[in-house]
Amino acid sequence: MTDGAQPLAHASRTISHAMITLIAVATAAFYIYTAWYGSYPALIQRSVLLGAAMCLVFLGRAGQIRPDSARNKATLLLLAVASLCSVGTMGYLIVNFNAIAESSGFFGQTEVVLATVMVVTLLFATWLAFGAALPIIAICFILYALFGREMPDILSHRGLKWGSLVAGNYLTTKGVLGVPLGVVADVVLYFLLFSSFLAATGASDTFVRLSQLMVGRMRGGPAKIAVVGSGLLGSISGSAVANVAASGTFTIPMMKRVGYTPKFAAAVEAVASSGSQLMPPVMGAAVFIMADMLQVGYGTIILAALFPALIYYLNLFVIVDLEAGKRGLRGLDGFEKDKSRELLRDSGYLLAPLAVLFGMVMLQYSPRYAALLSLALLLVLNLLQPRHRLSFRAMVDTLVDGMVSVAPVAVAVAVAGIVVGVVETTGLGLNLTTIMTRTAENSLLLLLVLTMVSSIVLGMGLPTVACYIILALIIAPVMVRLGVPPLAAHMFVFYFGTLSAITPPVALGSFTAAGIAGSAPLQTSVTSLRIALPAFLMPYIFVYQPGLLFQGGLAGLIEPLIAAMIAVIGLSAATVGYFRGPVGLFRRAMFLAGALMAFAPGLLSDLLGASLIVLAIAAGEFMRRAGDITASGAK
């Protein structure tokens, strides 16, 4: 870079940072104010968020570009124009809200032009945030809406005109500014702000240190720290990649140091972090939209997700324990357990706001109110802790970080709103339901397999929230038609969209962990898939036995929960090839068969599976003792 370009680059970054700070703080203040004193009409409330989100995406990218070439300068100019388009199109809706509300759906050429600019700008923002996959899907749905007459009979419709299509997305709450974006504006934003402040006050460090106290001295302690710490951290972050980046830099080197291979260490962290969107109380943005789609309380969703998430982490815990036993690995050396008192005195207060959040949600308080009250409690407690007290500058930076994390979620669900609008307007949902039903030929198992593949494939290129919205709109109704409870159907789709983070060939969670561990990305993702195998069977359990989702109280929960725990032990032993000693091929087959039988629905298959696993364990104990006796006799 030339000497003359350096001041220009510095000025560009300074302006971008200042604008990001101004927009983020102003937007956060607006939503905190409206949360306490009452929201504006939905069109205004959502327009503010979308306009701010697109600006934050564009300005964030602008801050990464140095104006040292004509191409980069042109890119910066394009991003500046896109930011102005974001402000202009959303600002028009806010300023002219009354006229739009009184127009009864009529629109002029000005609205069509602005709507076109808005859609193009939104697709551009989404492409910058997530890549080309989601914009391409949205464009395909737009083309379907425009050229419906040219489609095959079962998919054909009368077709929409461009003006009607874009104006419907722009001037109403049926498309881009629809329910998904409303959920982000009304709920998700506050939870992400809360998560941002938890991280800034040291929650991630507290959770890792707490996991050290719990499991650090066990065999394979560092891997168990990754499992427990990622589960605790993931319960507030809701992002697999962010979780890997936050805790993996600490846990992966520690796992390698005690003897785990790089690819296994990376796989453990990736799988543990991928459970972040499955572990209550915060989970990911998609569950808030799920609650809205199902018209149930958020507490119902997190209670349903709790036991499958616990089984998910139990599987990983058993896997790393057996791997440590197989390799003869020990826990951390010189671990000081008496630090628990210091930990609780120093930063144990961080657990209180999380407990309040969980309690309020379970008591059916508004999720937004629960998040704000928990955030207020966190800030008050932080002020009482001189060693960790956030300065005013740190609080502003944390607020900005929180809003910056909201921005990509907002643009993703806004683009998914285009898909929702097309499906509802053209009747595509009913047509696709008919096609899926015919394809599955009324076979629920075949439909589940097709849904699993669709969820994983879509999840590879889409954020989980967008993947969930599309499949919940198209496939979940088919599952319900075939007798699956609605909550189980939506949770099935959500689970596999989440697991795409560790599924080859595009496994962002595994690839991120591989970068930290210095292992081959594809080998790491294959190892992740192997150790997370029970997680891929879990959704089938709660479809056939929805009691695992707490749909039927304790009576319906106990059998599938115990069966799942037994199956996890058997499948882990079969996967690792170790259970209190090496497991031969025949016993591995017994463990595997017993696990699959325990995973299958029905009390008889559960009992047979458990018996087979117990028999495999007993055979191993018999052979181990026989070997000990033989060795003693030889001495």
**pLDDT tens digits, 380-396:** 888 887 767 888 899 99
For residue 260, give the DSSP letter: -
Flag the least confident range among 26-35, 534-543, 552-561, 623-632: 623-632
Identify the three-state secondary structure at position 76.
Answer: helix
What is the pLDDT averaged over residues 362-388? 83
Residue 619 in this model has a pLDDT that exceeds 70:
yes
Residues contacting 436, CB < 8 A, separation 6+: 447, 450, 474, 475, 478
User: What pLDDT does 6 receive?
Assistant: 66
**DSSP codes joined into one string, 509-536:** HHHHHHHHHT--HHHHHHHHHHHTHHHH
Q: Which DSSP category does 154 fall into?
A: G
- What integer pLDDT is reported at residue 427 of this predicted model? 77
Main-chain phi, psi angles of 582, to 5 degrees? -60, 145
CA distances from 408 to 217, 270, 285, 411, 428 (A): 40, 22, 11, 5, 27
**CA gap 296, 288 in Å, rounded:** 10
Q: What pLDDT score was predicted for residue 232? A: 64
- Give the torsion through C-alpha atoms of 31, 36, 40, 46, to 10 deg: 30
CA distance 27 to 396: 12
Q: In this predicted model, what pLDDT tens digit does every residue of 269-321 receive, in sequence order?
A: 888 888 877 887 767 677 888 888 888 888 888 888 888 888 888 888 888 88
Provide, rounded to the nearest whole percent, the portion of the chain with pLDDT above 90. Answer: 16
Using DSSP, state whether 396 is helix, strand or coil: helix
pLDDT band at 598 (very low <50, low <70, confident <90, very high): confident
Structure tokens at 280: 């209550």
Tokens 């929230």 belong to which residue? 465
Q: What percent of the chain stands above pLDDT 70? A: 85
- DSSP class of residue 4? T
Q: Do 1 and 381 touch, CB atoms closer than 8 A?
A: no
Question: Is the pLDDT reported for residue 81 higher than 90?
Answer: yes
Q: What is the mean pLDDT of the chain?
A: 82
CA angle centred on 102, ends 99 and 104, rounded to 5°: 125
Cα 302 to Cα 358: distance, rounded to the nearest angstrom: 9
Task: Supply the pLDDT for residue 10.
Answer: 66
For the ranges 86-100, 373-387, 540-554, the one whose mean pLDDT is highest: 86-100
Residue 496, phi-psi category: left (phi > 0), alpha (psi -120 to 50), beta (remainder): alpha
Q: How confident is the model at residue 576 (pLDDT cuts 50, 70, 90)?
A: confident
Q: Contact, 256 vs 517, CB < 8 A?
A: yes
SS3 582: strand
Q: Could you please report the per-residue DSSP string of 22-37?
A: HHHHHHHHHHHHHHHH
Model confidence at 505, pLDDT cuts 50, 70, 90, reads low
Query: How confident is residue 150, by pLDDT bands cut at 50, 70 and 90?
Result: confident
> For the residues of 36-71, what is the DSSP string, one character each?
HH-PPPHHHHHHHHHHHHHHHHHHHHHTT----SHH
Residue 581 has pLDDT above 50, yes or no: yes
Q: What single-letter amino acid sits at 280?
A: P
The residue with greater pLDDT, 216 or 498, is: 498
Of 10, 135, 12, 25, which is closest to residue 401 (Cα–Cα)? 25
For the cut 90, the answer to whether the pLDDT of residue 196 exceeds it is no
Question: How far from chain centre, in Å, is Cα 473?
Answer: 18
How confident is the model at residue 231, as a pLDDT? 63
What SS3 state is found at 142? helix
Residue 631 scores a pLDDT above 50? no
Q: What gap in Å lies between CA 577 and CA 170, rounded to an integer? A: 57
In degrees to the nearest 10, what's the CA dihedral of 431, 435, 438, 441? -120
CB contact set of 439 (below 8 Å; sequence gap of 6+): 446, 447, 450
Cα-based distances in Å from 481 to 217, 296, 420, 524, 625: 50, 19, 20, 38, 54
pLDDT for 206-222, tens place per residue? 766 676 676 666 676 66
The predicted structure's pLDDT at residue 482: 82
CA dihedral 38, 42, 47, 50 (to 10 degrees): 90
Q: Which of 498, 508, 405, 465 is CA-nearest to residue 198? A: 405
Beta-bridged to residue 578, according to DSSP, are: 582
Q: Over range 476-484, report the average pLDDT.
A: 85
- Structure confidence by residue, pLDDT tens digits, 433-466: 677 777 766 678 888 888 888 777 777 666 777 7
Compute the distance between CA of residue 523 and CA of residue 358 in angstroms, rounded to an integer.
Answer: 38
Give the tens place of pLDDT for each residue, 98-146: 888 887 767 888 999 999 999 999 999 999 988 888 899 889 989 989 9
Residue whose structure tokens are 């971008």? 16
**Is 96 in a helix, a strand, or coil?**
coil
Query: What pLDDT shows up at residue 45?
Result: 94
pLDDT of residue 57: 94
